[in-house]
């Protein structure tokens, strides 16, 4: 299915180049369709060719593919740490909000408001704080700021999804455990957490996408080197002379998102016995 | 399960009232109720919606706290009895955990109280045998029919060998055929376990077929209006056709309509004894 989707996307791209106007479509002077010329939309094979070519004109330069893969690996690690932070913080917040009703009333508005603060505004602040911090005796690293910002984006879907999931058991199920003299902790482990799985798994997937986007945006706005975010900016500068190059970095960023979603599918596979009745099969 | 004081009644409710405070004001769900259920006795609570029968059961189960009055379960407070697992409970919804097998659902209360795995398995096997589902230990709840799920719920209620079963319309969602079969099962289970049962229902024949006594309640405020003794000896399918059965059904129906049929008003040997509220309820 994934392969078919990729082929269709490729066909759409090349098909538009075939029929689309070189100068794009305009209605009353406003361009509504993108330009189809080779600078705006290079052919797919040109992008593939560019991946194989050396990154820089200097002798001994490795290929663009290697550069993109290295950047992806860097951003993946940073985004993964951000995802972990987001998942842990999101789950802890959800359990707290489920446990103490006052906490839900007090925290949930802030959780929602937190997502309206623009990342670009937040990034320099985090970097500024990080400059004064040490972590277990080690100085704060720039990538830690990026992970933190990625986690800031990732915790939101987890907190909201897990809260709904923890509240999903029926009154009968909750009362039964009460009658069986189950402690709060036992009720959490035996009832609420298992019941929350169908809500948490989609939240984990959203968090994976959010942490990749968060890491890339944070790399750009903090000026962190080594990741795919930096590569996107660098390659964009050569867009006029080397139109295929920026697309290689974009391709890498998209692949990171797919990779994150795929890893969550592995988690889903491991938790499939908690899937709701009738959906025993995991989507592929 | 710690043994209760010798001779203590299974349930002893004395002057209990429950007032729910709501946004619109106060609702008196149960008002000055006295009820005693002897060890091994089967008592049904019957009445129209809002008569407080479920609330009374939930008070005994320590799911709600009384506004005033005293509740004893085997001589202990309702809370202590719950902590000690002196009762098992079943609701209208089976409330099985869908991610656990049938066997694991029955084992849940044992698991919560630290019973070892082997012992849990064995108890679950015995209980599944008892409710006639021995072949379904490894099944998932969703693979079972409504009646079978309810049997699993009853088996789970029996897991800790309680001497009191609290049942809140456990057969309310079942079709009539299944319902009658489940009633016969429950009679057998009760005979085998010797547990006392408090059974909430709004089916008159169900209450009469199952119970030693039927407690009739009326709403606004919820209170006990009549207690009907059921003079049936055996509980088998023939009983459903017996004149005593019909006479008792009629007596409960009359009581529900608020018409008190005084004992001995008709000189009939099958006339069940009806005690009006306020009489000494054992």
Query: Which residue has 């889903």 as its token pair?
Result: A268
Whether B162 has its CB under 8 Å from any CB of chain A: the answer is: no
Contact A176 B89 (CB under 8 A): yes
B-chain residues near A274 (CB < 8 A): 99
Whether B112 has its CB under 8 Å from any CB of chain A: the answer is: yes
The topology (CATH level 3) of B11-86+163-276 is Rossmann fold (3.40.50)
Contact A179 B142 (CB under 8 A): no
Centre a 10 Å sphere on the Cβ of residue A214 and count the other Cβ atoms it contains.
27
Stretch A75-86: mean pLDDT: 94
A55-66 pLDDT, tens per residue? 777 666 788 888
pLDDT of the residue at B282: 42
A-chain residues near B85 (CB < 8 A): 180-181
Stretch A159-185: mean pLDDT: 92
pLDDT of the residue at B281: 44
A262-281 pLDDT, tens per residue? 999 999 998 888 887 654 44
pLDDT of the residue at B174: 84
Query: Which residue has 């040490």 as its token pair?
Result: A134
Taking CA atoms, A216 is separated from A113, A155, B164, in Å, by 22, 17, 62
Stretch A143-169: mean pLDDT: 92
Q: Which residue of A has its CA nearest to B98?
A: A277
Does B261 have pLDDT greater than 60? Answer: no
- Test mutation, A176, A194, A279, chain B, max B CBs within 10 A: A176
Residue B150 near residue B179, CB atoms below 8 Å: no
Does B234 have pLDDT greater than 90? Answer: no
**Domain A63-274's class?**
mainly alpha
Stretch B193-198: mean pLDDT: 91
b vs e for B181-214, b when ≥16 Cβ sit within 10 Å of the residue's Cβ? ebbebbbebbeebebbbbbbbbbbbbbbbbbbbb
pLDDT of the residue at B265: 40
C-alpha distance from A169 to closest chain B C-alpha (Å) = 9
Contact A191 B112 (CB under 8 A): no
Whether B1 has its CB under 8 Å from any CB of chain A: the answer is: no
Stretch B17-43: mean pLDDT: 88
Considering only the beta carbons, identify the residue of A179, A182, A273 that sits closest to B99: A273
Helix (DSSP H) and strand (DSSP E) numbers for chain A: 11, 4
Considering only the beta carbons, identify the residue of A173, A190, A273 that sits closest to B95: A173
Q: Which residue of B has its CA nearest to A182?
A: B112
Average pLDDT across chain B, whole number = 85
pLDDT band at B275 (very low <50, low <70, confident <90, very high): low
Q: How far apart are CA B61 and CA B206, in angstroms?
A: 22
C-alpha distance from A213 to closest chain B C-alpha (Å) = 34
Residue B198 near residue B242, CB atoms below 8 Å: no
A-chain residues near B109 (CB < 8 A): 180
pLDDT of the residue at A160: 92
> When comparing pLDDT for A173 and A125, which is higher?
A173
Contact B82 A179 (CB under 8 A): yes
C-alpha distance from A167 to closest chain B C-alpha (Å) = 15
A-chain residues near B92 (CB < 8 A): 172
Q: Which residue of A has its CA nearest to B64?
A: A175
pLDDT of the residue at B4: 45
pLDDT of the residue at A284: 39
Does residue B221 have a cis bond before it (omega within 30 degrees)? Answer: yes
Provide the pairing of β-strand A134-135 with A138-139. Answer: antiparallel
Query: Could you give the strand order of the β-sheet that contains B68-73, starting from the edge strand earlier in sequence?
Result: B25-37, B11-22, B68-73, B76-77
Burial class (CB in 10 A: 0-12, 13-18, 19+), B227: buried
**DSSP, residue by residue, A28-93:** TTEE-S---STTTS--HHHHHHHHHSBSSSSTTPPBHHHHHHHHHHHHHHHHHHHHHHHHHHHHHH
C-alpha distance from A176 to closest chain B C-alpha (Å) = 8
Q: How far apart are CA A132 and CA A137, in angstroms?
A: 12
Does B280 have pLDDT greater than 50? Answer: no
Does B279 have pLDDT greater than 50? Answer: no
Considering only the beta carbons, identify the residue of A175, A181, A277 that sits closest to B98: A277
Provide the pairing of β-strand B196-201 with B42-46. Answer: parallel
> When comparing pLDDT for A103 and A83, which is higher?
A83
Contact B99 A191 (CB under 8 A): no
- The torsion defined by the Cα of B153, B159, B161 and B165, in degrees rounded to 10, comes to -20
pLDDT band at B130 (very low <50, low <70, confident <90, very high): confident
Strand ranges (E), chain B: 11-22, 25-37, 42-46, 68-73, 76-77, 87-90, 164-168, 196-201, 213-218, 223-229, 274-276
pLDDT of the residue at B272: 57
- pTM here is 0.81
pLDDT band at B2 (very low <50, low <70, confident <90, very high): very low
Question: Domain residue spans in chain A?
Answer: 63-274
C-alpha distance from A202 to closest chain B C-alpha (Å) = 18
Say what the ipTM of the complex is. Answer: 0.82
C-alpha distance from A197 to closest chain B C-alpha (Å) = 11
pLDDT of the residue at B268: 44
Does A49 have pLDDT greater than 90? Answer: no
Stretch B26-42: mean pLDDT: 89
Question: Domain residue spans in chain B?
Answer: 11-86+163-276, 96-161
- Test mutation, A168, A181, A184, chain B, max B CBs within 10 A: A181
A5-40 pLDDT, tens per residue? 888 888 888 888 888 777 777 777 777 777 777 777
A-chain residues near B91 (CB < 8 A): 172, 175-176
pLDDT of the residue at A133: 74
Who's near A122: CB < 8 A, 6+ residues apart? A149, A152
Taking CA atoms, B29 is separated from B92, B102, B217, in Å, by 20, 36, 11
């Amino acid at each position: 299915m994934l392969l078919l989707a990729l082929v269709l996307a490729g066909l759409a791209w090349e098909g538009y180049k075939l029929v689309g106007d070189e100068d794009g479509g305009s209605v009353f002077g406003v361009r509504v369709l993108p330009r189809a010329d080779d600078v705006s939309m290079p052919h797919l094979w040109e992008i593939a060719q560019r991946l194989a070519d050396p990154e820089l004109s200097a002798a001994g330069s490795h290929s663009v593919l290697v550069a993109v893969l290295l950047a992806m690996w860097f951003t993946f690690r940073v985004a993964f740490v951000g995802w972990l932070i987001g998942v842990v913080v999101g789950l802890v917040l959800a359990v707290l909000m489920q446990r103490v009703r006052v906490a839900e009333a007090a925290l949930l508005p802030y959780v929602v408001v937190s997502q309206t603060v623009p990342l670009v505004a937040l990034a320099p602040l985090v970097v500024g704080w990080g400059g004064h911090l040490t972590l277990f005796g080690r100085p704060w690293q720039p990538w830690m700021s990026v992970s933190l910002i990625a986690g800031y984006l990732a915790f939101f879907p987890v907190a909201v999804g897990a809260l709904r999931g923890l509240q999903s058991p029926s009154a009968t199920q909750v009362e039964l455990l009460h009658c069986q003299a189950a402690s709060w902790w036992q009720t959490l482990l035996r009832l609420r957490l298992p019941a929350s799985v169908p809500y948490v798994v989609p939240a984990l997937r959203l968090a994976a996408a959010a942490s990749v986007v968060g890491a890339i945006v944070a790399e750009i706005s903090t000026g962190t080197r080594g990741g795919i975010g930096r590569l996107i900016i660098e390659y964009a500068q050569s867009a006029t002379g080397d139109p295929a190059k920026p697309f290689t970095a974009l391709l890498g960023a998209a692949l990171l998102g797919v990779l994150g979603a795929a890893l969550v599918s592995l988690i889903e596979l491991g938790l499939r016995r908690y899937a709701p009745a009738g959906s025993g099969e995991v989507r592929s | 399960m710690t043994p209760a004081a010798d001779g203590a009644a299974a349930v002893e409710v004395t002057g209990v009232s429950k007032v729910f405070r709501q946004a619109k004001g106060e609702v008196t769900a149960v008002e000055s109720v006295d009820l005693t259920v002897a060890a091994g006795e089967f008592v049904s609570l019957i009445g129209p919606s809002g008569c407080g029968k479920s609330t009374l059961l939930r008070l005994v189960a320590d799911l709600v706290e009384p506004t005033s009055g005293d509740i004893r379960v085997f001589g202990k407070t309702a809370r202590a009895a719950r902590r000690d697992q002196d009762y098992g409970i079943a609701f209208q919804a089976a409330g099985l955990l869908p991610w656990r097998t049938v066997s694991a659902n029955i084992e849940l209360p044992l698991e919560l109280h630290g019973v070892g795995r082997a012992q849990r398995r064995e108890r679950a096997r015995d209980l599944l045998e008892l409710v006639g589902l021995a072949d379904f230990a490894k099944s998932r709840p969703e693979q079972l029919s409504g009646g079978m799920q309810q049997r699993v719920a009853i088996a789970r209620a029996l897991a800790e060998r309680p001497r009191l079963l609290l049942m809140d319309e456990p057969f309310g969602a079942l079709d009539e055929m299944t319902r009658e079969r489940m009633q016969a099962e429950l009679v057998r289970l009760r005979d085998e376990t010797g547990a006392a049962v408090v059974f909430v229902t709004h089916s008159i024949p169900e209450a009469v077929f199952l119970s030693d006594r039927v407690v009739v309640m009326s709403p606004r405020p919820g209170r006990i209006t009549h207690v009907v003794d059921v003079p049936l000896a055996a509980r088998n399918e023939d009983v459903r056709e017996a004149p005593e059965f019909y006479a008792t059904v009629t007596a409960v129906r009359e009581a529900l309509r608020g018409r008190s049929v005084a004992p001995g008003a008709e000189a009939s040997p099958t006339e069940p004894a009806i005690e009006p509220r306020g009489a000494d309820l054992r």
